[in-house]
Structure 1
Amino acid sequence: MFNAQRISSRARKLSLAVAAGALLGTSALSGCSVANSGEAGGGSGAPAAAGDTLRVVLQQEPPTLEACDANLTSTGIVDRSTITEPLIERNPTSGELEPKLATEWSSDDDQTFTLKLREGVKFHDGSDFTAEDAKATIDRAVNSKIGCDVEGYVFGDDDLDAKVVDDYTLSVKSKKKDPILPLRLSFLEVVPAETSATEKVREPIGTGPYQLDQWTAGQSIDVSAFADYWGEQPAFKKANYQWRSEASVRASMVTAGEADIATGLSPEDNIGELGVAYPNNETVALRMHDNAAPLNDIRIRQAVNYAIDQETITKSLYGGRDKPAAQLVPEGVVGHNDSLQIWPYDLDKAKALVEEAKADGVDTSAPIEFVVRTAQFPRIQELSQVIQQNLSDIGLKVDLKMLETSQQLKYQVRPFPESDNALMVMIQHGNQAGDAAFTVDQYMTTKGAQSAFGNEEMDKLIAKADQATGEDRQKDFEEVFKYQNEKLVQFAHISHQTGMLGISKSVSYEPNSSSGDELRLAEATPAS
């Protein structure tokens, strides 16, 4: 039986936190202090003394720490497996699924899965984790109407039927056969059952090795080791996050001993021997919308692809570390199509397509709004300016809009802002799950959360691939990526990226392919 007293006590705590968040509204954007935070001018503005505190400097302030939005890089890099934890965790090196808050899972039909949950786990408010919390997390993130980013990113329109079998057993059923449902569940960060199901919560209560202490909006975030954590205690008792948009500034903070880890760097930032490269599975591309001329004509979208010199961009801006991309997923992801070639750089061909479309009545002089997120990855502004010039060279009018995270996210996920102008958005997509379903379901279906458009034939191809297993799954997704390049052309691919962290000599941390999306602080230790 469930402990009613436990639930009542926890409900009171959460209701107060939610109420405080509601009163503060958009304080993250205004610079005001938020719930559980000190005044913006004091508290944790300066990092605590090095030694027992791990100091991290990020590219940007998280727009929120809402657990159901943790698949967003700017949120997940703080949340995932640090403050909150999933039921199942994917090993970023081996790709294997590993136990986390669920210790085992099984299914007889690839549709209904039974999960055994870990006992003895406590939330940061002192309450016990049970199957009720796991069910509520699924209902809130997947089945509710609060607009969790993970819903569109991982689950789409389909709800899940989660049922409590007993305190530590959960049954989860999908609407149709879904052989990778456990992999999908690895994207859900667990929160208490009493967390609001009607609005998002800026500061979550989790079960992770660190608990959120203080968020001084516009300045820093402080976390501390959770004394009642079910696993091993992390080596650092505290951690402090700050953010600086300039990569060279982040690098200098590490070299000057003001930070221990800096994200989003490149060798050009003068990080020297403290720069540690890692295999990043992020892909950069342009997502073109068909809402208005001239991008509503496939010939213009093809021309955009021909006009971008991927080889020169990756060599001149990224020192040859990044690789030109022909599709949204890199090698190693199930469904990657080895036979696809990058579009050749051919200005004459691009100009000819623009002229052909113009002759047929397409308004090729209509402006294209080019939306880019400031500081999303190294040298993004220079890259955007190069692309703007490339497209101007073929006769297209491109208006570059560099936006902060909170504003750019409006263009990232449906519903997109209405505009009389054609939209083109710079995206950075990382398929951490290792299966193409997590790319195409959201980016290529007609109703995908991050898809600008699609068609019936593409939807059929994706539905077929989603149901397949083994070699058939690989072949079916290969066909999806081929169809995108030949028939749909929603994307102009730029590059498959590599990542780099700045890591001080006083800290030992080995980055992996997920480090850009979830920086697991518990894996960092003082250097010996």
Structure 2
Amino acid sequence: MSSSHEPSPTLGRTASNRPSPARRPLASVTKAVAVGAAALLLSSCAVANSDGASGGGGGGGAASALRVVLQQEPPTLEPCEANLTSTGVVVRSNITEPLIERNPTTGDLDPLLATEWEQTSDNEWSFTLRDDVTFQDGTPFDAEAAAFSIDRAVNSDLGCNVEGYVFGESDLEVTAVDATTLTVTTPEPDPILPLKLSFIEIVPTSTSTTDKVREPIGTGPYQIDQWEVGTKLTLGAYDGYWGDAPAYPSVEYQWRGEGTVRAAMITGGEADIAMGLSPDDGIGENGVSYPNNETIALRFSGDIAPLDDIRVRQAINFAIDKDGIISSLYPNGDVVASQLIPEGVVGHNDSLEPWEFDLEQAKALVAEAKADGVPVDTKITLVTRTAQFPKVNELSQVLQEQLSQAGLNVELRMVDTTQHLQYQLRPFVTNEGPIALLVQHGNQAGDAQFTVDQYMSSTGAQSTFGTPEFDQKLDDAAKTSGDERQTAYEQIFADQNEEIVQFAHIAHQTGLLGIASGITYEPNSASGDELRIAEVKPAA
């Protein structure tokens, strides 16, 4: 997908069955490569879980239970939190489904629960819905359920992550015209509303509007059978699914924090798919790389000294040896980042250069700020999430060391997913001093608006910065389309790097799955966030 491609928000095609996304050829992965800079790395040793998992396709037999091993247990399966990787990898398009589904390979919008859509005025869109779908509790899917789901996720007081990630403070007016016709009215013209709605998972009207649910009911090919907290999660195929029946009658999710353990479960026949691997985990020929669109960066709290001084934030950018980090920790496809979105996302600025590594310049900026009275000795807490991606522990320690070498007082704090969200999302932790948060941002939508609205606006769900002038640039860009949209967002990323410096970008990542020999699955850029089990088949 080129950097000028924009997913089409126009009419979708009619679908009699669930569309199959276009495929990208598998990329072979060589065996683990010895990694240099040993002083920067931590080694780990582990053995595979010896508990024999039942079923599975690893041996090439008849399809029974598909066994998936994750980095961590999902904190929840609440549908309006499905854009969180640890939740979405299980729930999205497996348990619940959206009206429209974005093809992660082509960027096109495919019909799902909605068969077609059109913009009927500047501020209104009309959607035609399927009439042959039921929820897993037997109730029919209709326009009332669609309107309810949008209202619950966007207009309620639940504080859904998808609201901040996709819609911000904008409410939507949703109307069920009849059983199969839905209209959505936006407060301002929105040329990519169908793309935004692809992030809202549809639930029945019986779903709570006062509390988030842990185990949802949806329209997807699988329903929750049993969740043994701390041990495993089992899904069973939904017999009443409107589309093609999936190949596997059940899915069993387990979770292991060590990548070497997850890899050993594949090579030892205890799992069929392992998520979030590194080439160093020993996956060998069972490793399959894919074009992940995740970007890792440090995000700074901009209202607490010394991070409220732009010179200190610039110094951190100069202090990080991004090339060294990639060559020693992520040498198999990651590239140095200059912005929060990778090439292929609308708005990516090809002309931006990454900050160069210049430790002396970093030290000089810190010294200059100190001379002006900035308390550069104040402790900065570097907050990172355990098991967020491969070698995150090693990376965190490298970042702590490199920032300390620039003359800053940095303390590392590793936290779990629930704790990390308290730093990541509003309302932010405000009583622990200045925070440098390691974030992993994936723009699955393929459009820069989903990045800048949450990370760069004054009220963004994940933004600690913003000015009225910059907010206006974001608002203006959101109303554009085509080449004008591309140019507007290119300028926004340039202005962020020059005028605001809320981030220290590190790398655009490449993903690696472990896939057993008895399994056929071709990963794509969304696989790390939404592993669509219906696309997994037994090997022929």
Instruction: In structure 2, give the amino acid aligned to 1:186.
Output: S
Q: Deviations over 1:6-41 (max 9, x none)?
A: xxxxxxxxxxxxxxxxxxxxxxxxxxxxxxxxxxxx
Instruction: In structure 2, give the amino acid aligned to 1:484.
Output: Q
Q: Is this contact kept in 2: 1:461–1:479, CA < 8 A?
A: no
Q: Corresponding residue for 2:55?
A: 49
Q: Is this contact kept in 1: 2:102–2:109, CA < 8 A?
A: yes
Q: Deviations over 1:371-418 (max 9, x none)?
A: 101000000010010010000101101111100111111111100112
CA displacement at 1:349 relative to structure 2: 0.4
Q: Deviations over 1:63-89 (max 9, x none)?
A: 100000000000000000000000000
In 1, Cα distance between the equivalents of 2:428 and 2:463? Answer: 10
CA displacement at 1:290 relative to structure 2: 1.5
Matches within 5 A, 1:435-450: 435-450=447-462
TM-score by length of 1: 0.91
Q: Corresponding residue for 2:255?
A: 243
CA displacement at 1:291 relative to structure 2: 2.9
Residue number among 114, 125, 148 corresponding to 2:160 in the alignment:
148
Q: Corresponding residue for 1:366?
A: 378
In 2, Cα distance between the equivalents of 1:420 and 1:378? Answer: 27
- Secondary structure, in 3 states, of the residue corresponding to 2:384? strand
CA displacement at 1:46 relative to structure 2: 6.4
In 2, Cα distance between the equivalents of 1:72 and 1:47? Answer: 27
Q: Is this contact kept in 1: 2:55–2:66, CA < 8 A?
A: no
Q: Is this contact kept in 2: 1:283–1:329, CA < 8 A?
A: yes
Residue number among 436, 446, 449 corresponding to 1:434 in the alignment:
446
Q: Corresponding residue for 2:311?
A: 299
Q: Deviations over 1:229-272 (max 9, x none)?
A: 00000000011000001111000000000000000001111100
Residue 76 (structure 2) pairs with residue 64 (structure 1): yes
CA displacement at 1:433 relative to structure 2: 0.5
Instruction: In structure 2, give the amino acid aligned to 1:523.
Output: E
Q: Corresponding residue for 1:134?
A: 146
Q: What count of residue pairs does the alignment treat as equivalent?
A: 484
Structure with bigger RCO (C-alpha 8 Å, 6+ apart)? 2
Q: Corresponding residue for 2:246?
A: 234
Gaps of 5+ in 2: 1-50, 57-62
Q: Deviations over 1:398-457 (max 9, x none)?
A: 111100111111111100112241011000000001000000000000010011111122
Q: Corresponding residue for 2:409?
A: 397
Q: Corresponding residue for 1:341?
A: 353
Residue 280 (structure 2) pairs with residue 280 (structure 1): no
CA displacement at 1:119 relative to structure 2: 1.0
In 2, Cα distance between the equivalents of 1:237 and 1:162? Answer: 36
Matches within 5 A, 1:19-418: 47-50=53-56, 51-418=63-430
Instruction: In structure 2, give the amino acid aligned to 1:193.
Output: T
Residue 521 (structure 2) pairs with residue 515 (structure 1): no
Q: Is this contact kept in 1: 2:448–2:489, CA < 8 A?
A: yes
In 2, Cα distance between the equivalents of 1:296 and 1:502? Answer: 42
- Secondary structure, in 3 states, of the residue corresponding to 1:449? coil
CA displacement at 1:122 relative to structure 2: 0.8
In 2, Cα distance between the equivalents of 1:213 and 1:418? Answer: 40
- Secondary structure, in 3 states, of the residue corresponding to 1:285? strand
Q: Corresponding residue for 2:464?
A: 452
Instruction: In structure 2, give the amino acid aligned to 1:48.
Output: S
Q: Is this contact kept in 1: 2:222–2:235, CA < 8 A?
A: yes
Q: Is this contact kept in 2: 1:354–1:394, CA < 8 A?
A: yes
Instruction: In structure 1, give the amino acid aligned to 2:482.
Output: G
In 1, Cα distance between the equivalents of 2:282 and 2:332? Answer: 17
Gaps of 5+ in 1: 1-44
Q: Corresponding residue for 2:15?
A: none
Instruction: In structure 1, give the amino acid aligned to 2:161.
Output: D
The list of structure 1 runs, each at least 4 consecutive aligned residues, that deviate by more than 4 angstroms after superposition, is: none
Matches within 5 A, 1:11-26: none
Identity rate, percent: 59
Stretch deviating more after TM superposition (246-255 or 287-296): 287-296
Instruction: Give the RMSD, CA atoms, in angstroms.
Output: 0.9
TM-score by length of 2: 0.89
With over 3 angstroms needed to count, the CA separation of the structure-2 counterparts of 1:510 and 1:110, relative to structure 1, is farther
CA displacement at 1:461 relative to structure 2: 1.1
More helix by share: 1
Instruction: In structure 2, give the amino acid aligned to 1:196.
Output: S
Stretch deviating more after TM superposition (417-426 or 139-148): 417-426
- Secondary structure, in 3 states, of the residue corresponding to 1:451? coil
CA displacement at 1:47 relative to structure 2: 3.5
- Secondary structure, in 3 states, of the residue corresponding to 1:383? helix
With over 3 angstroms needed to count, the CA separation of the structure-2 counterparts of 1:349 and 1:508, relative to structure 1, is same
- Secondary structure, in 3 states, of the residue corresponding to 2:121? coil
Q: Is this contact kept in 2: 1:445–1:453, CA < 8 A?
A: yes
Q: Corresponding residue for 1:469?
A: 481
CA displacement at 1:48 relative to structure 2: 2.9
CA displacement at 1:320 relative to structure 2: 4.5
In 2, Cα distance between the equivalents of 1:266 and 1:510? Answer: 18
